[in-house]
Amino acid sequence: MRPSKNRPTRAAASFTGAPARWWLNVAVPALPVLACFLGGATVKWSEGIVVALFGLMLLVQPPKVSMGWAVNGILLALLACAATAFLPSNWFLQPAWRTALVEDFGIQLPGTLSPQPWISLGCFLTFLAGLSWLYYVSTLDLDLRDVRTQLRTFAFGVACLTALCIALRAGHTALPFWHNERGFGPFPNRNQTANLFGLTAVVILACGQEDIRHGRKRWILWLLALVVIVIGIVLDFSRAGVLLLIAGSALWLGAFALRKGSAARIALGVSVLLVLLTAMLLFGGQTFERFNLRAGDTGVATDLRWAIFRDAAHLVAASPWAGIGLGNFDEVFAVFRDVSLTSARTIHPESDWFWFCVEMGWPAVALTVIGIVLFVRRVFPLREGTNQRFRVAALIAVLLFALHGLVDVSGHRVGTAFAALFLFGLALRRPSELRPSVAVPIVFRFIGLVLLVSGAAWLFATRYEKPLPGAVGVENETRLATSANRGRNFAETIQGTTRALGWAPLRWQLYFLRALGEVGARAPVAQAVDDFRRARFLEPNVYQVPFEEGNAWVSADRPTLALTAWREALRRAGNERPELYGRMLAIARRFNPGLLQGLEEFGMVHHDLALIYLEHASGAPFMSALQRFLDRDPALQTMSADEKIIFFKHWAERGDAAELVHAVEAHPDWMPFAWRGVANYQAAQKNFRAAVEITRQHAEKPVLPPAAQNASIEQLRQALHADPDNYSLGFQLYHEQMQQGLVDEALVTVRHFTDLPGAPRYFHFLEAEAWAAKQEWERSWNARKKFDAGK
């Protein structure tokens, strides 16, 4: 059957009528700005607001055209990749960590690929909202003026947000829902704030250039907006912001200048870029210092990022091809940390692409790349009169966003993700020739209803602390269980954590809280032991987990279990081991002295802990512990030089000094470390000569002024008489008197200065030397003690 000639094969997208466009030109660009304002929509209540508003937009005015089978197929395939999390787990490779959780720790996991399907469902809805937002913006039926209006509105909104950040920083305050550690910007992480500012700067350049080209004075407003953005990037203290600003500006100015090939345009573009670089160099301050431009500098953060990448790659290799399910990276990655092991927990892999691959599998990454290519093809051709300058700016911003995703996670933050997708959608060429579709508005109205209900539910459940299945319910139950535990309502603690574990069985905090409740409720010990083991397995790096477990067992009078937990805490503590061991000793002395023996036995096996134990022991217990350590390490081979000095200091002050002297006589190589205690012992035995000689042989000598040449004693005496507080003259006179054997006169000179307040302490050293020359050993020792006391 031949198609009718009157039937159009292509139709311009008729998404909205002209009267309705005014609210779209405000609402569409305002939504990503609102998401950024709400702390980046990084928590469920703020994300719920954004998702619900977008769902309402879909219900009121859904897309009415289809983007074609290729784009639709890619987007549906991405949704299918995300939805594999809800397929039966036995259809895929069973990773070793999952087997260990079930068989070794008795954790009841659901039968889905995702070990936490309720958490994955919440993330799936967010992912659905993101893809729908891209489709929505891409299919907007906008004329060229509407595109410019929306981009200007977005840029102006971000500039106002940046100005608000600067004002709050100047006032040393922040909005209650902004939780940035450095007190600047709406996002918890400065890199996402910098990402937003840097990409917006490119759009602002396009806005300003457009007004200059048409002779409008509005370019002054855009210049001020750019200045505000630059100040914001500097105050944000992020290298990413600087790189995005410079790279984006250079690319857009280069495209603008080279398009016509005009020498004047090229010179103007270079000039603008140089001015921008100069401003950043002049005012960048500590932000530029973070680039470690000096030769030989290495970035610790960069090294850690590469270590996280390596561990994330191992996780990918050990997981099914479909990933581990959305929302599961944090809990599962903790078990895989090796080269990236630190005391802080890693909640993401420092890369959008790695994160995507871990949770949705490598096919999702491949589909995303193909999808980006398909969308970029729809940007071209960039003909004159098609908003090509604005669209190039938007495209540059989006591509930089994707590249930044290699080393950051802005794509997993609703605020920045919605902003980038908004720019991507407006970068497409218009008018677009898309086919009207009957199914598309029906599908998107259904999606809008789902998003509206979901977003409203997240907001309502957060506000009234309702047990909504998913991330919101888990947070609510965790908060309520913590409060119940503090109020010693242990039954409620156990009940709340058990309910939350049905939604998040990999959340270590829940097992830990439930174990605390079981200890407090005097439940069978085996139950608490099992839950503590699960918590330690799911959080295998942070020492606070087993340390607090040990504290719980101390309160329950279970010293053996407390000691087992504390040993694990010390294994994890790294450089903080000595301080942590000291806290354990203090707790044991206060609440359970029986623990001390176990802590002593463990501490005496480790030289760094032995010093802490000996520091707090004395008398017979000290000597007993000391002998136990020497039996294990009789030559002190495990100790560094500094540790040996501390070791012998404790021995001399808290143990048997006579035994110390005998030990040093048997080990003469110990004398450089133990000389102070031996000297003090000899002085206590009235053998001051030996004390002084040992000290003179091993003690560090002070830095003395240089000796003057060709100055007689009489000349120095007259000069000192004229200036009696001149330390240099006093030393010179003392030196000459000692050189000529006038020791008594030298003592008179030096004691003049030892009686002066504020005189250099080396005069006590000089006095000790003079008394030693007269073989007045006790006086020499006393002077030396005054010298040492001034250190």
Domains and CATH numbers, the chain: 67-117+302-372 (no CATH), 471-698 (1.25.40.10), 715-789 (1.25.40.10)
- Res 308: pLDDT: 85
* Residue 558 backbone class (left: φ over 0; alpha: ψ -120 to 50; beta: rest): beta
Instruction: For 451-466, give the secondary structure using H, E and C.
Output: HHHHHHHHHHHHHHCC
pTM of structure:
0.83
Starting at the edge strand that comes first in sequence, how are the strands of the sheet with 11-12 ordered?
Answer: 11-12, 433-436, 65-66
Report the C-alpha gap between 788 and 791 in whole angstroms. Answer: 6
Residues of the chain with pLDDT under 50: 1-19, 263-264, 267, 281-282, 284-285, 287-288, 291, 293-300
Residue 112 is given by DSSP the state B
Quick one: tokens of 645? 């000095």
- Res 570: pLDDT: 94
CB 148 within 8 A of CB 210: yes
Report the C-alpha gap between 581 and 691 in whole angstroms. Answer: 35
Instruction: Give the strand pairing for 11-12 and 433-436.
Output: antiparallel
* Beta-bridge mates of residue 112: 88
Length of the chain: 791
User: Buried (b) or exposed (e) across 267-300, using 16+ Cβ within 10 A?
Assistant: ebbeebbeebbeebeeebeebeeeeeeeeeeeee
- Res 14: pLDDT: 38
Quick one: tokens of 211? 């007004």
Quick one: tokens of 183? 């007190």
- Res 16: pLDDT: 38
- Tokens 């579709």 belong to which residue? 437
Amino acid at 445: R
* Beta-bridge mates of residue 48: none
Report the C-alpha gap between 522 and 528 in whole angstroms. Answer: 9
Cis peptide before 320 (omega within 30 of 0): no
Instruction: For 644-712, give the secondary structure using H, E and C.
Output: HHHHHHHHHHHCCHHHHHHHHHHCHHHHHHHHHHHHHHHHHCCCHHHHHHHHHHHCCCCCCCCCCCCCC
Is the CA virtual torsion 614, 618, 621, 622 positive or negative? positive
Backbone angles phi, psi at 407, to 5 degrees: -125, 15
Report the C-alpha gap between 614 and 622 in whole angstroms. Answer: 6
User: Who contacts 318 (Cβ-Cβ below 8 Å, separation ≥6)?
Assistant: 95, 96, 97, 336
Residue 551 is given by DSSP the state H
CB 393 within 8 A of CB 252: yes
Dmax of the chain from CA atoms? 130
Nearest to 596 by CA among 606, 605, 585: 585
- Res 262: pLDDT: 53
The predicted-structure confidence for 25-58, as pLDDT tens digits, reads as follows 899 999 999 999 999 999 999 999 999 999 999 9
The burial of 684, by beta-carbon neighbours within 10 Å (0-12 exposed, 13-18 middle, 19 or more buried), is given as exposed
User: Who contacts 530 (Cβ-Cβ below 8 Å, separation ≥6)?
Assistant: 105, 106
String of DSSP letters for 20-32: GHHHHHHHHHHHH
Terminal Cα-to-Cα distance of the chain (whole angstroms): 104
* Residue 215 backbone class (left: φ over 0; alpha: ψ -120 to 50; beta: rest): left
User: Buried (b) or exposed (e) across 49-83, using 16+ Cβ within 10 A?
Assistant: bbbbbbbbbbbebbbbbbbeeebeebbebbeebbb
Report the C-alpha gap between 282 and 291 in whole angstroms. Answer: 15
User: Who contacts 590 (Cβ-Cβ below 8 Å, separation ≥6)?
Assistant: none
String of DSSP letters for 594-625: THHHHHHHHHTTSHHHHHHHHHT--HHHHHHH
**Residue ranges of E strands in 352-481:** 433-436
Amino acid at 146: D
- Res 510: pLDDT: 96
* Residue 542 backbone class (left: φ over 0; alpha: ψ -120 to 50; beta: rest): beta
Backbone angles phi, psi at 440, to 5 degrees: -60, -50
The predicted-structure confidence for 195-210, as pLDDT tens digits, reads as follows 999 999 999 999 998 8
